[in-house]
Amino acid sequence: MSEESKTCQECDRPISNELQRFVFQHQLFTFVFLANEYECAECKRKRCMKFFDNFGKHFIDLDEHKNVIVNWLLCLEREQMTKTAELLAALKVLSLCSEGNWLILDNRGQSMNPSTSFQHLYFTRREDALEYARLKFSDTGHSWEIVHIDKTISREDVVQKE
Ligand SMILES: [Zn+2]
């Protein structure tokens, strides 16, 4: 990828280099998306909201305290987990951040969490990890476990300290 101005693969408009993340409201939900270098914020917003309206809203809801609730049974029946994971990360049900969050691991230490095409994700809530694992992996032939990641140390913190 060259340093000069990047353009959106969808609409050809230039993509701002400054924009790191963007937030918007849609049907009482608050979405927080990270910017990327191949899709402008507007195209990403439109694409994700179309997916939410046609698909995600059938199993994503809000409770009376405006907490996001996911019907994992309906979610898994409908598949399309890669795109769904992107929505759930924007709603903070899943996160790029590992610290303080939950991870389903197989017996070789590989993540069994949902992921987008290019991002590993973690459950932010214990009950979602439990429900997802129970529904999806009850019948697997190998063992697995759910771990809570208590503390992480960043590469910067490890390398820079003398
Ligand atoms: Zn665009």
Evaluate whether 115 touches 85 at the Cβ level (below 8 Å).
yes
Measured in angstroms, how far is the CA atom of residue 113 from the centroid of ligand 1?
30
Please give the Cα distance from 78 to 57 (Å, whole number): 12
Q: Whole-model pTM?
A: 0.87
Measured in angstroms, how far is the CA atom of residue 8 from the centroid of ligand 1?
5
Q: How much is the pLDDT for 76?
A: 92
Measured in angstroms, how far is the CA atom of residue 46 from the centroid of ligand 1?
9
Q: Which residues line ion ligand 1, judged by CB < 5 Å? A: 8, 10-11, 40, 43
pLDDT higher than 90, residue 162: no
Measured in angstroms, how far is the CA atom of residue 15 from the centroid of ligand 1?
8
Q: How much is the pLDDT for 161?
A: 64
Rounded average pLDDT over 2-31:
83
pLDDT digits (tens, 9 = 90+) for 98-145: 999 999 999 999 999 999 888 899 999 999 999 999 999 999 999 999
Measured in angstroms, how far is the CA atom of residue 30 from the centroid of ligand 1?
21
pLDDT digits (tens, 9 = 90+) for 27-40: 999 999 887 788 88
pLDDT higher than 60, residue 2: no
Rounded average pLDDT over 20-30:
90
Q: Which two tokens stand for residue 45?
A: 């917003």
Evaluate whether 124 touches 102 at the Cβ level (below 8 Å).
yes
Measured in angstroms, how far is the CA atom of residue 39 from the centroid of ligand 1?
5
pLDDT digits (tens, 9 = 90+) for 38-90: 888 889 899 999 999 999 999 999 999 999 999 999 999 988 888 899 999 99
Measured in angstroms, how far is the CA atom of residue 93 from the centroid of ligand 1?
26
Q: How much is the pLDDT for 74?
A: 93
Please give the Cα distance from 108 to 142 (Å, whole number): 10
Measured in angstroms, how far is the CA atom of residue 9 from the centroid of ligand 1?
7
Measured in angstroms, how far is the CA atom of residue 117 from the centroid of ligand 1?
19
Please give the Cα distance from 10 to 39 (Å, whole number): 7
- Pairing of β 29-34 and β 21-26: antiparallel
Measured in angstroms, how far is the CA atom of residue 91 from the centroid of ligand 1?
22
Q: How much is the pLDDT for 20?
A: 81
Residue type for position 32: V
